[in-house]
Structure 1
Amino acid sequence: MSIKGYSIATIDEFVGRELGASDWVVVDQARIDAFAHCTGDRQWIHVDVERARRESPFGGTIAHGYLTLSLLAALAMEIGLIPEDASAGLNYGLDKVRFMTPVKAGARVRNRVSLVSVEKKGGGRIIVKTMNELQIEGEEKPALVAETLAMLVA
């Protein structure tokens, strides 16, 4: 997806504006299990479906917080955070992250992104700060809010 009028040359005009919202993505048990396998975080609240049904205050398994955080980059790219005229976009870091609401297995989430700031670094490099809100379908509070940093290369 691309954002109308959004480019390296016009990026400053988008500061303070919402860039858009991604499509909904399902965070199913298979994704949670794959994340647990990759990271070694096999805490029962994430991977033991039967125990989580019995003992979890959420009525079932929930996604890892870092799994939900890891979805932000791809969903921001889907929106069009990296302008079409950029040669590359790289993760540069995080400024703030707050996990607000657990994501239950099977829930759908999407990322709503706003451009907070743009810092030109020279050599065609630009640091963009975005505010990301990972929304959970049907929930009032988001799963998380995070200020992320990306380096765009012209």
Structure 2
Amino acid sequence: MTKSLQDLQVGENLGESRWVTIDQPLIEQFADCTRDRQWIHVDEERCRRESPYGQPIAHGFLALSLLPGLLYELISPPGEGYALINYGLEQVRFLEAVRSGDEIRLEAALDGIQQKQSGTLYRINCAARIHHREKPALAAALLVLCAELKP
């Protein structure tokens, strides 16, 4: 169940998203889309031989790119006439490799609210947790602008 942004308080835990599997076909699609086909991501045989992980790992930016969609499982704009707009990122850190086949989910908490001329800016601290691992894949502050749509 999503929470409306208008009802949130700074410091509030927004909850956890569903688990998402980061499988090899998704990694391959991301590699093709971004043209980042380093062997550590796409060459399963070489990874078995040479990688310290023993298998391909996801691009850090793949996990990062999933955060807005997962966040929108947790929050919603205050009404029909509003949109949530990706405004930026702060303090992005890639902390643990996501291996092919791992599942990740978003954990989020509201860190700040700022009124701007274009709408309300929310700073949301996020962690992409890897199922059955202590260390998160990444931590970042997402900046989301809640703006009223005008005809």
1:97 aligns to what?
A: 92
Consecutive unaligned residues of structure 1, counting only runs of 5 or more, are none
Residue type at the aligned position of 2:135: K
2:29 aligns to what?
A: 34
- 1:22-76 C-alpha deviation (Å, 9 max, x unpaired): 0000000000000000000000000001100111000100000000100100000
1:122 matched to 2:80? no
2:39 paired residue among 34, 37, 44: 44
1:73 matched to 2:68? yes
Consecutive unaligned residues of structure 2, counting only runs of 5 or more, are none
2:127 aligns to what?
A: 133
Contact 2:92 2:138 in 1 (8 A): yes
Calculate percent identity across the aligned residue pairs: 44
Say what the alpha-carbon RMSD is for the aligned residues: 1.2
Contact 1:2 1:84 in 2 (8 A): no
Residue type at the aligned position of 1:67: L
CA shift for structure 1 position 83:
2.8
Q: Which contiguous aligned blocks of 4+ residues in structure 1 show a shift greater than 6 angstroms?
A: none
**Partners of 1:116 and 1:97 in 2: how far apart?**
15
**TM-score normalised to structure 2 length:** 0.93
Partner of 2:27, secondary structure, is helix
Contact 1:2 1:83 in 2 (8 A): no
**TM-score normalised to structure 1 length:** 0.91
**Partners of 1:2 and 1:29 in 2: how far apart?**
30
Partner of 1:152, secondary structure, is strand
**Partners of 2:18 and 2:29 in 1: how far apart?**
21
**Partners of 2:35 and 2:26 in 1: how far apart?**
14
2:136 aligns to what?
A: 142
